[in-house]
Structure 1
Amino acid sequence: MNTLLKYLLILFFAHAAMAQNGVQFEEIGFEQAIAKSRTARKPVFYMIYATWCPHCEKMRQQVFTDPKIGAYFNSHFINVLVDGEQGEGPELRKKFGVKAFPGLLFIDEQGTLLYSLNGEFKVDDLLAEAANAMVPEKQLPYLKAAFDADPSNAEKCLAYLITLRKGSDRKALSPAAHKYLATQSDSQLPSTINWRIIANAVTDINSREFQYVLSHQEQFAAVASPARVQRKIGNIVTELLEPYVASLDSLGYKSKRQIVKSMRLQKADSLVFSYDLMLAEHTNNWAAYRKAAEEGVEKYVWGNQKIIKEIANTYLQHLADTERLSYAIKWVKHALELMDSYDGNIILSKLYLKVNDRSNAITYARKAKELTRNLGWNSQEADALFKELNIN
């Protein structure tokens, strides 16, 4: 066997072994990864994961072990695995704007971000995105430079935003969107492409563009749809209020809440109602919870038996005043009118028991038990109620 043939066979089997084993990740520092990138003349691929993230684990076990993924990534990239919460992980997340796990980054030998993704991908979808990351015209630096050179060009703006959105949250898109939209007059805003830019990248509730959407909803509905316009309103309210609820910042929430309420829209008010309840529950502010519930249940969720039961159950768990519990009783009876349910009858029986109405408590406990018999369900909770009520 001649030397060339031996060499080709060695390369073939080495490549096959690498592919069979999936992606060959290294756990090395950023500077070392960049140095290897320069030497090998190929980009760095980073998977930034969290130990608690099920999507990360699924990709490590099912996607990065795939032979096709292994063959492509091992031949095209220096592959690096980083715990996003340990060591260099937090710094890398901040540097490259990783807001969700897993963060998937493609970085050149100068340390410049070429392309980024977040979330879980299937094998073929990840291969397609990795191929995109190797095409200069599809990379972030090229798309940004093209847009910056022609900021009034809607197509270039949208192309940059679509690629940026793959690995960034909506707020990261906002500066480019506003740079383009500043070149558009109010009357030019309601177009199909401008709507796509607004819908994907405008996050400031006080911005000229969003305020124009609010005051010209029919025009934007004509180029998008009424449902999409309402969804945008919901998204921008959610993006404004949710961080304050998540951080339990009652003062910050109160100031932003006023902005949303000033919109005077049913959709916005309904979201405020939900966030009012959530924040009050998470901060154990039961006075605020009952105030929000008693003002809003019939106004915003009267047709949703599931949410009504959840609110009533919260009353059952945390409130003792008979007058307050009477609201919950009224709500659950309405929920049962919308749809008879085992859990609704259980909640109502417990509410009646809590206000010392034994007769009605027995009635709804029996209804719950009857439903378990008819449907073949576990009757453990109903049995416990029967025992507490001393009935059989």
Structure 2
Amino acid sequence: MKKNVLTLMAIVLLGVFNLSAQGIEFQHISLEEALEKAKAEDKLVFIDFYTTWCAPCKAMAKNVFTLPEVGAVYNKEYINIKLDAEKEGLKSAKKYLVNSYPTYIYLNANGNIVYKETGMRLANNFIQLGRDAVASENSQFSLEKLRAKFPNKQDDAGFLKIYFTKVQEYGQNPTEGINAWLKVQTEIEEDDVDMMEFLLKNKDYIILKSKGEEILKVNFDEYMDIATRKEEKELQIFEEVRLAQNTKNYALETKNPELWFTFMQAFNTLPEKYKKRGNYLEYKITYYALLKDSESYKMAVENYVDSLMVQNTSGKTKSGAIVQDLSNKGEAYLKYADSKSDYKTLENWIEYGNELGASIYYMDNLMADMFYKKGKRKKALDYKEKAIANWPKGDKKLSTKKYELEQMKKGELI
């Protein structure tokens, strides 16, 4: 009897030891379920956004997430989940603007971002991230509290400086805070070298039609007189192209069609060496998408595809690149297709892509998605399987296509 009791105690102690010695305990639940658990347990939510092809993601999963000291912090303070940003986590990745991997998102129980960071981290640094996120949420300067105060503090330079500094520390875009501060601040003269250095330091966050652009334009000649050679070059690029690029990025991030239109207008005035890097027809597609104007959107895509065909006739673009671009635009068009005419247009594009004879799997995939939307599931599965069978094995998109096939078989949305 005594021996049995001792054995039982040993098993219990071993279980406790193993529990305390584990790394991060990732729960196999949805984000919505994680938020509910976080609310019930008074915790935050930690999301590891990864992809199957991301080497740093695999390294973190193997070398950092498994460490007991990491688990001790994250299991205590967080409900932890992992989301494949190209599969089940795609919608959430778009919501939280995840565009590099790995990305670590720290949320409060309301689903609002507390902290956001990216890339490989050493264990100590990663532990500190977890602690910093908890501290920031409990602070008077938490991201959520700062954002709640921001609309009513537009004349408070002191608050605005704290705001944009903290927002940047939390891994968020400080554009609106910086430009709000520039409107009311009095601590730096606008034609002073300190202002030039401030603008250059924050050159990624100054956008068109903002106070920052106004200061740069009005004082540009003065800045060029006091700048070093390196700063002169930075200022020239800043004025010529970076303002427009920042506006483009911020318009996409905030889904602001008016700001995107401002970028489009600026694009037409860029030096030719920069205009070659963009495509105005493609920008029009994005504009109508942001406006949620489906008919104008479809017309813009049709015009773009017409231009692709002209490029092919002129021989300026390789067939493989045209087919891939045609696939991308076809998938975008399909989201808004709602008539026989729309589907006929798509079929014509697919036929044209097949005639080019390059990367045919793209056209098979597009055909599969079209049939699936039309409710013809068997044909959709046949074409999706055909596309996957011919898809290059090393292509990063292959795992996503396999996931889509699984969803189709279940009758789920893709």
- Structure 1 residue 80: Cα displacement: 1.0
Show the counterpart of 1:93: 93
Show the counterpart of 1:201: 205
Distance 1:71 1:213 in 2: 49
> Residues 133 and 169 (structure 1 numbering): CA distance in 2 closer, same or farther, change over 3 Å?
closer
Distance 1:60 1:217 in 2: 48
Show the counterpart of 2:81: 80
Contact 1:27 1:82 in 2 (8 A): no
Show the counterpart of 1:246: none
- Structure 1 residue 231: Cα displacement: 5.8
Counterpart of 1:202, as a letter, is I
Distance 2:216 2:313 in 1: 36
Contact 2:244 2:267 in 1 (8 A): yes
Counterpart of 2:205, as a letter, is A
Counterpart of 1:207, as a letter, is S
Show the counterpart of 2:25: 24
Show the counterpart of 2:125: 125
Distance 2:184 2:176 in 1: 13
Q: Identity over aligned residues, as a percent?
A: 18
Contact 2:23 2:72 in 1 (8 A): yes
Distance 2:92 2:124 in 1: 27
Contact 2:22 2:66 in 1 (8 A): yes
Q: How far does the alpha carbon of each residue in 1:312-335 deviate from its partner, in whole angstroms, 9 at most, with x for none?
A: xx9xxxxxxxxxxxxxxxxxxxxx
Distance 2:217 2:12 in 1: 62
> Residues 32 and 79 (structure 1 numbering): CA distance in 2 closer, same or farther, change over 3 Å?
same
Counterpart of 1:109, as a letter, is A
Contact 2:157 2:184 in 1 (8 A): no
Q: How far does the alpha carbon of each residue in 1:134-164 deviate from its partner, in whole angstroms, 9 at most, with x for none?
A: 1123531133345445334455434433443
Report 1:304-315 matches (<5 A): none
> Residues 30 and 227 (structure 1 numbering): CA distance in 2 closer, same or farther, change over 3 Å?
same
Unaligned runs of 5+ in 1: 1-8, 244-252, 291-313, 315-392
Distance 1:65 1:213 in 2: 49
Show the counterpart of 2:146: 143
Contact 1:97 1:168 in 2 (8 A): no
Contact 2:160 2:180 in 1 (8 A): no
Q: How far does the alpha carbon of each residue in 1:287-340 deviate from its partner, in whole angstroms, 9 at most, with x for none?
A: 9999xxxxxxxxxxxxxxxxxxxxxxx9xxxxxxxxxxxxxxxxxxxxxxxxxx
Q: How far does the alpha carbon of each residue in 1:208-263 deviate from its partner, in whole angstroms, 9 at most, with x for none?
A: 422431442355575994455356445434446799xxxxxxxxx9x968735746
Report 1:110-259 matches (<5 A): 110-135=110-135, 136-137=138-139, 139-145=142-148, 147-154=150-157, 156-165=159-168, 170=173, 173-184=174-185, 188=190, 191-192=194-195, 195=199, 198-203=202-207, 205-217=208-220, 219-220=222-223, 225-226=231-232, 228-230=234-236, 232-233=238-239, 235-239=242-246, 259=266
Show the counterpart of 1:62: 63
Unaligned runs of 5+ in 2: 1-9, 251-259, 283-306, 318-414
Distance 1:11 1:175 in 2: 55
> Residues 49 and 260 (structure 1 numbering): CA distance in 2 closer, same or farther, change over 3 Å?
same
Show the counterpart of 1:104: 104
The Cα RMSD (Å) is 4.6
Counterpart of 1:134, as a letter, is V
> SS state of the match for residue 21, structure 1?
coil
- Name the count of aligned residue pairs: 267
Distance 2:56 2:44 in 1: 24
> SS state of the match for residue 65, structure 1?
coil
> Residues 272 and 30 (structure 1 numbering): CA distance in 2 closer, same or farther, change over 3 Å?
same
TM-score after normalising by structure 1: 0.52
- Structure 1 residue 79: Cα displacement: 0.7
Residue range with higher mean Cα deviation, 143-152 or 186-195:
186-195
Contact 1:261 1:269 in 2 (8 A): no
> SS state of the match for residue 114, structure 1?
strand
